[in-house]
C-alpha cells in the first residue's frame, strides 16, 4: 500500500514539474514587445499557479526553462543613442576632405549622428558589398570607396551611423527586375512625373532585396537602418496602376506597408541593428493622406525603433496649425506638428507594448520656391530644435540636400549637456499629462505635398533629391 501511495506521489510531482516547465515556452518564445524584447522582461510576471508555490523543485525547473528560452533570443543587445544628426549624401561621405571638415563640426557641436545614403534615390548602392542580390543586377555605383575606413573614423569620434535606404522608389531595380515594378493595365511600366519607375510594395522579392542591403550595411559598420520612400507613389497616374490579387491577397496599402516594416524589423533587429522609417508629416492628421501614401503613423510605430516624420515647415499648406504661412513660422509649425504626433500615437497605445521613438526631420534649407518663405539660418534651426524639446521629444535630424548646414544654430557638447539636464528637470516638475500650449491643430492639406527639390542649387552632389 505504501509503495502504491509513494508511486502515485512521484507521478504527481513529475506531472507538476512538466506542466510548470511547459507553461513558459509559448509566452517567452513567441510573445515579444515592439522593441523585440520578451514580454517577461520588464512586464508582469507570468502566473506560475499553485504548483510553483508549493513545489520548490517546480519553481527551480520553471525558472531554468525561462532563462534558457531568453538566452536563445535572436535579438542581440542594442544600446540606443539619443540622436542629433545630419544627412550626408554618398558623394559627401566618400570625400575624405569633406568628411574631415564635417567630423570637425561633429566634435565641436551637439551633433552625434549622421544619415548616409547606402542606396540612393535612383537605386544605386553606394559602396561595394558582398551581396548576391545586389551584384546580380550590378547595382553598385561606388561613391564610398573605403566604407570600413569611414566607419572606423566615425566610430573613433563617437558618431552613430544611420544607413538611409530608399525603399520602393527604385528606378534601377525596376529596370533590372521589371516583374517587380508597378505596371499599367497594358503591361507597360508606370513612371512618376520625373520619369522614375517604382517597385511594387506587394512583392516579397523587393522586401528581401531591401533587407539584404540593410544587413550588409550593418556588416559595414552602420548602427541603424532607415527606410525612406517606404510608401506608394502619390503622383498622377497611380490610379491606373494594376495590382494583381495574387500579390495583394486583399490587403490595402497601409496594411502592406505595415507588414513590410514588421518583416524588416524582425530581420534586421536579429542582426543587432536599430530600424527606423521616414514618413510624411501630413499623415499624422489626415487619414486620407495616410491611405494614399500607405503609411499608418500609429501602426508603423508599433514595429519600429524610431519613426521620423518629415515635418519641414515648407511642406505644410497655408493655415496649418493656425499659421498663415508655415514656412515663415518654424517654431510654431514644428510644435503644432509634434503636438499632433502625440495625439495620434495616443490612439494606438496598448498596455505592455512600446511605440517607436519620434525623431523628426527638420528643415535646414530655404524654400525659395514658395510664394511666402523666409531665409533659413542659425536662428530658424534653433527655433525648430526648441520646438522639438517643448513638444516633449528629444531627438532630431537636419536635412539639407546639398549638405550645407548652419552649425551656428547648434550648441557645444557641454552646453547641450547642460540644456538636457535643465529640460529633464523642467519636465519632472510638470504635473502629469501636462501638454504644451499651442495653436489648435488644423487639418492637413487634402493632397500630399509634391516632392519638389527643396534646394535649387545642389553642388557637390550627384543627382540628389529631397528625401520626401
Identify whether 436 is part of a domain: no
pLDDT (average), residues 180-199: 95
pLDDT of 48 higher than 90: no
Question: 291 versus 466: which is more confidently predicted?
Answer: 291
Is residue 10 classed exposed, middle or buried when 0-12, 13-18 and 19+ CB atoms within 10 A define those classes?
exposed
For the ranges 224-228, 456-460, 464-468, the one whose mean pLDDT is highest: 224-228
- In sequence order, the β-bridge partners of residue 308 are 278
Mean pLDDT of the 343-348 span: 92
pLDDT (0 to 100) of residue 286 = 79
Tell me if 269 is assigned to some domain: yes
Beta bridge partners of 419: none
Tell whether 91 and 53 lie within a shared domain.
no
The pLDDT assigned to 432 comes to 79
For 379-434, the pLDDT digits (tens) are: 999 999 999 999 999 999 999 999 999 999 999 999 999 999 999 999 999 887 65
Q: Which residue has the cell 540644456?
A: 419
Q: Given a cut of 50, is residue 18 above it in pLDDT?
A: no
Percent of the residues in the chain that have a pLDDT greater than 70, as a whole number: 76
- Output the nine-digit C-alpha cell for 267: 530581420
**Pairing, β 396-399 against β 361-363:** parallel
Residues 221 and 350 placed together within one structural domain of the fold: yes
Please indicate, yes or no, if residue 457 is contained in any of the structural domains: no
% of residues, the chain, pLDDT over 90: 71
Q: Are residues 184 and 35 in the same domain?
A: no
Provide the pLDDT confidence category of residue 57 given band limits of 50, 70 and 90.
very low
Q: Is residue 459, in this structure, part of any structural domain at all?
A: no
Of 144 and 69, which is predicted with more confidence? 144
Which set of grid coordinates corresponds to residue 387? 520646438
161 shares a domain with 256: yes
The whole-number pLDDT of residue 288 equals: 76
More confident residue, 229 or 439: 229
What is the mean pLDDT of the segment spanning 98-125? Answer: 98
Q: 10 Å Cβ neighbour count for 184?
A: 13
Q: Which pLDDT score, from 0 to 100, does residue 290 have?
A: 85
- Look up the pTM and report it: 0.79
The answer to whether residues 100 and 35 belong to one domain is no
Q: How many domains does the chain have?
A: 2
Question: How buried is residue 78: exposed, middle or buried, by Cβ count under 10 Å (0-12/13-18/19+)?
Answer: middle
Can you read off the three cell numbers belonging to residue 381? 534651426
The pLDDT score that the predictor gives to residue 75 is 66
In a domain, 455, yes or no: no
The pLDDT of residue 282 is: 84
Range in 356-360, 382-386, 417-421, 446-450 the model is least confident about: 446-450
Residue 460 lies in a domain: no
Instruction: Give the residue from 409, 428, 447 where a domain finishes.
Output: 428
Of the three residues 46, 71, 96, the one that is the final residue of a domain is 71
Report the pLDDT value the prediction gives residue 284, as an integer from 0 to 100: 87
Q: 44 with 93, same domain?
A: no
Is residue 51 located within the same domain as residue 126? no
Same domain? 303 vs 207:
yes
Q: Tell me the CATH number at 411.
A: 3.20.20.80
* Domain-located, residue 325: yes
378 or 451, greater pLDDT:
378
Instruction: Please determine, for residue 244, whether its predicted confidence score (pLDDT) is greater than 80.
Output: yes
- The pLDDT assigned to 325 comes to 98
> How far, in Å, CA of 389 to CA of 395, rounded?
8
Q: What is the pLDDT of residue 354?
A: 87
Cα–Cα distance, 56 to 45 (Å, whole number): 17
Tell me: pLDDT of 9 over 50: no
Q: Give dist(CA 215, CA 225) in Å, integer.
A: 9
Q: How many CB atoms lie within 10 A of CB 74?
A: 10
Q: What is the pLDDT of residues 73-89, one digit of tens each?
A: 466 788 999 999 999 99
Q: Are residues 29 and 89 in the same domain?
A: no
Rounded distance between C-alpha atoms, residue 282 and residue 98, angstroms: 34
Q: Which residues pair with 278 in a beta bridge?
A: 308
pLDDT tier at 69 (50, 70, 90 boundaries)? very low
Task: Tell me which of 38, 71, 104 is where a domain ends.
Answer: 71
CA gap 165, 265 in Å, rounded = 14
Give residue 264's pLDDT band: very low, low, confident or very high (50, 70, 90).
very high
Q: What is residue 289's predicted lDDT score, i.e. its pLDDT?
A: 82
- Whether residues 319 and 355 fall in one domain: yes
Both 176 and 37 in one domain: the answer is no
Listed range (11-20, 138-147, 217-226, 278-287) with the worst mean pLDDT = 11-20
CA distance 43 to 125: 41
pLDDT over threshold 70, residue 460: no
Average pLDDT along the chain? 82
Q: Is residue 79 part of a domain?
A: no
Whether residues 212 and 242 fall in one domain: yes
- What residues make up the domain containing 267? 84-428
Amino acid at each position: 500500500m505504501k509503495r502504491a501511495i509513494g508511486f502515485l506521489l512521484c507521478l504527481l510531482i513529475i506531472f507538476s514539474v512538466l506542466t510548470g516547465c511547459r507553461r513558459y515556452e509559448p509566452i517567452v518564445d513567441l510573445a515579444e514587445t515592439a522593441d523585440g524584447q520578451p514580454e517577461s522582461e520588464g512586464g508582469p510576471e507570468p502566473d506560475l499557479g499553485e504548483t510553483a508555490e508549493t513545489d520548490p523543485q517546480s519553481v527551480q525547473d520553471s525558472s531554468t526553462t525561462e532563462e534558457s528560452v531568453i538566452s536563445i533570443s535572436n535579438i542581440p543587445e542594442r544600446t540606443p543613442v539619443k540622436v542629433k544628426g545630419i544627412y550626408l549624401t554618398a558623394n559627401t561621405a566618400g570625400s575624405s576632405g569633406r568628411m574631415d571638415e564635417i567630423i570637425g563640426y561633429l566634435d565641436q557641436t551637439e551633433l552625434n549622428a549622421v544619415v548616409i545614403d547606402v542606396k540612393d534615390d535612383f537605386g544605386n548602392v553606394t559602396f561595394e558589398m558582398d551581396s548576391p542580390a545586389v551584384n546580380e543586377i550590378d547595382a553598385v555605383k561606388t561613391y564610398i570607396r573605403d566604407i570600413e575606413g569611414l566607419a572606423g573614423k566615425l566610430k573613433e569620434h563617437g558618431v552613430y551611423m544611420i544607413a538611409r535606404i530608399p525603399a520602393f522608389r527604385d528606378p534601377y531595380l525596376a529596370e533590372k527586375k521589371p516583374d517587380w515594378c508597378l505596371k499599367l493595365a497594358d503591361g507597360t511600366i508606370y513612371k512618376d512625373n520625373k520619369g522614375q519607375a517604382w517597385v511594387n510594395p506587394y512583392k516579397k522579392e523587393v522586401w528581401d532585396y531591401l533587407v539584404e542591403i540593410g544587413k550588409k550595411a550593418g556588416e559595414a559598420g552602420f548602427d541603424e537602418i532607415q527606410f525612406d520612400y517606404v510608401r506608394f507613389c502619390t503622383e498622377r497616374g497611380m490610379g491606373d496602376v494594376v495590382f494583381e490579387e495574387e500579390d495583394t491577397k486583399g490587403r490595402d496599402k497601409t496594411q502592406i506597408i505595415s507588414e513590410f516594416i514588421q518583416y524588416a524589423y524582425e530581420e534586421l533587429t536579429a542582426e543587432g541593428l536599430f530600424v527606423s522609417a521616414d514618413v510624411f508629416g501630413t499623415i499624422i492628421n489626415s487619414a486620407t493622406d495616410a491611405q494614399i501614401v500607405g503609411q499608418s503613423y500609429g501602426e508603423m510605430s508599433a514595429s519600429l525603433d524610431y519613426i521620423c516624420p518629415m515635418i519641414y515647415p515648407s511642406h505644410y499648406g497655408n493655415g496649418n496649425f493656425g499659421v498663415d504661412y508655415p514656412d515663415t513660422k518654424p517654431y510654431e509649425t514644428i510644435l503644432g506638428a509634434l503636438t499632433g504626433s502625440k495625439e495620434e500615437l495616443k490612439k494606438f497605445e496598448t498596455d505592455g507594448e512600446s511605440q517607436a521613438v519620434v525623431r523628426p526631420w527638420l528643415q535646414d534649407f530655404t524654400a525659395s520656391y514658395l510664394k511666402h518663405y523666409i531665409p533659413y539660418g542659425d536662428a530658424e534651426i534653433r527655433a525648430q530644435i526648441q520646438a522639438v524639446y517643448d513638444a516633449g521629444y528629444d531627438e532630431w535630424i537636419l536635412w539639407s540636400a546639398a549638405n550645407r548646414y548652419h552649425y551656428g544654430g547648434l550648441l557645444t557638447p557641454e552646453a547641450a549637456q547642460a540644456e538636457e539636464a535643465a529640460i529633464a528637470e523642467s519636465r519632472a516638475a510638470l504635473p502629469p499629462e501636462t501638454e504644451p500650449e499651442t495653436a489648435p491643430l488644423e487639418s492637413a492639406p487634402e493632397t500630399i505635398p509634391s516632392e519638389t527639390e527643396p534646394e535649387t542649387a545642389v553642388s557637390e552632389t550627384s543627382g540628389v533629391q529631397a528625401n520626401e
